[in-house]
Amino acid sequence: MTTNAPALWILAPFGFGVLLLFIRNARAVSLLGGTLALLLALTAQFIPIETALRFGELSVKIDSSISILGRVLLISPAEGSLLALIYAGSSLWFFGSLAAERSTRVVPIGLMITALMVAALAVQPFLYAALFIEMAILISIPMLSSLYTTPGKGIVRFLIYQTLAMPFILLAGWLLAGVEASPGDLALAAQSASVLGLGFAFLLAIFPLYNWIPMLMEESPPFTVGFLLWILPTITIIFGAGFLDRYSWIRSSPQLISALQSAGLLMVTTGGLWAAFQRHFGRIMAYASVAETGFSILALSVDSRLGIPILFLLIPARALTLALWSLALTIIKENAETLRFSSARGMLRNTPFAATGIILATLSTGAFPLLASFPPRLALWENISRASSTSAIWMGIGIAGFLVSAVRSLAVLAMADEFASWKPRENLPQMIMLGLGMIGLFILGLFPQTAQIFLAQLPLMFEHLGR
């Protein structure tokens, strides 16, 4: 029996997501979507592509490519671990959507978005990846707003900024084809690099183009926004690393290293500083996602033999932190009028699991020891300090901003009236999911090697980076 990897990890989840749109039972949607994502992750991790396996009388082989409308979708054997990481991360949101009471929107559309983002990595020629990313952005809009309400400014800016990236990336692809034909044309090379940089600046919401993120967190459900803030930047960063791997003249440019480091430090530092002065829990998470993208960009700026493993180590920590954070914010928002400090004051006594989850997620973003983000942050900080002590100081300022934010959040959540009683309002699924998320933060922080089952082979997907 033979099947195709793109059919299994792109077409099947997309079609299954469409079918789930017609199921109104939230529990069934959450369990079906989460189970499918987990099975796809396990299949990608333990069943190799382009290798025939025999199970008794049955022989199974997964081919790496499929041709559709004259274009090829190619998933190489080295990308199996990446697929496992992507679908395992998505399953966190799909299972958690039941506790967040967002299953009927997050799971079906989330499956389709995940499949489209995987297609963006698999399509050949790579120029068509921009179209798949734009499709994912467009179908994410129904997750964020209702047909019966006017979209807020954050949603409009999200759509505009992400869409503006598409013409730049398409133009850059056309220019890069010219550079390959005339490698000595320095002016054309500079133009293509500039246009490509603009495209990724819009896609990754690089400073100062991230003002839509905190606005979106105020307007839309935190759990839904959390999923988008994980899947879109994560795949885009890997897509961008593919450009660096493909073109040696870009990869070896000293100006690129400087640009990546400056952009990453700006996002980490401003994200941390803005978060330290926020009075809205959702906006704090928004700036944390900005800083997370900054850390990933910084990982690309250091020696690729160390930076690429750090980049992949950041992915599971980001997924778990944002999933826990967004679920906790959703529960807080259900029990308070808004996520502003004034409304959520003293919520530790009403939602103790959610309040603890917010504090731990904020501390994890701030590289607090024993939590998930500490090992990759420490490794990245060490490598940055070797290149520039000034850069290390700025990175430290950004990290300190999130630690200050965690202390302020704890003070607000614990600031209840003296005689207020403890009345936990979280239901059992919410407590279970939050508890598992917090335990996961400690496991990844104490035993970062547990993630190596997914991460060890990931650098092999690049021909030059990480070698």
Kindly report the pTM of this predicted structure.
0.91
Q: Which residue has the higher pLDDT, 225 or 192?
A: 225
Phi (first) and psi of residue 416, to 5 degrees: -100, 165
Task: Tell me the per-residue pLDDT of 52-105, one tens digit each, with 9 for 90 and over.
Answer: 677 666 767 777 777 777 778 888 888 888 898 999 999 999 998 888 877 788
Across all residues in the chain, what is the average pLDDT? 86
- pLDDT value at position 406? 93
- pLDDT value at position 66? 79
- pLDDT value at position 183? 61
Phi (first) and psi of residue 147, to 5 degrees: -65, -20
Burial class (CB in 10 A: 0-12, 13-18, 19+), 137: buried
Give the mean pLDDT of 350-363.
92
Q: What is the DSSP letter of 340?
A: B
Task: Tell me the per-residue pLDDT of 163-194, one tens digit each, with 9 for 90 and over.
Answer: 998 888 888 877 776 666 666 666 777 777 78
Tokens of 66: 């499929």
Task: Tell me the per-residue pLDDT of 419-434, one tens digit each, with 9 for 90 and over.
Answer: 666 777 888 888 999 9
Per-domain residue ranges of the chain: 1-124, 207-467
How far is 121 from 114, CA to CA, in rounded Å? Answer: 11
Task: Tell me the per-residue pLDDT of 439-466, one tens digit each, with 9 for 90 and over.
Answer: 999 999 988 887 777 777 787 777 777 6
Q: Give 415's pLDDT tier (boundaries 50, 70, 90).
A: confident
Q: Which residue has the higher pLDDT, 19 or 54?
A: 19
Residue 298 clears pLDDT 80, i.e. is over it: yes
> Looking at this protein, which amino acid is placed at residue 197?
G
How far is 63 from 74, CA to CA, in rounded Å? Answer: 9
CB atoms within 10 A of CB 228: 26
In DSSP notation, 237-298 reads HHHHHHHHHH-HHHHT-HHHHHHHHHHHHHHHHHHHHHHHT-SBHHHHHHHHHHHHHHHHHH
Residue 306 clears pLDDT 90, i.e. is over it: no
Is the CB of residue 76 less than 8 Å from the CB of residue 64? yes
Q: Give 146's pLDDT tier (boundaries 50, 70, 90).
A: confident
Is the CB of residue 330 less than 8 Å from the CB of residue 222? yes
Residue 2 clears pLDDT 70, i.e. is over it: no
Give the mean pLDDT of 348-375.
91
Is the CB of residue 375 less than 8 Å from the CB of residue 445? yes
Task: Tell me the per-residue pLDDT of 27-58, one tens digit each, with 9 for 90 and over.
Answer: 899 999 999 999 999 988 888 777 767 766 67
How far is 363 from 373, CA to CA, in rounded Å? Answer: 9
Q: Is 18 helix (H, G, I), strand (E, B) or coil?
A: helix
Whose structure tokens read 């698999």? 122
Is the CB of residue 2 less than 8 Å from the CB of residue 61? yes
Is the CB of residue 105 less than 8 Å from the CB of residue 222? no
What lies within 8 Å, CB to CB, of 19 at 6+ separation is: 108
Tokens of 154: 């954050």
Q: Which residue has the higher pLDDT, 367 or 54?
A: 367
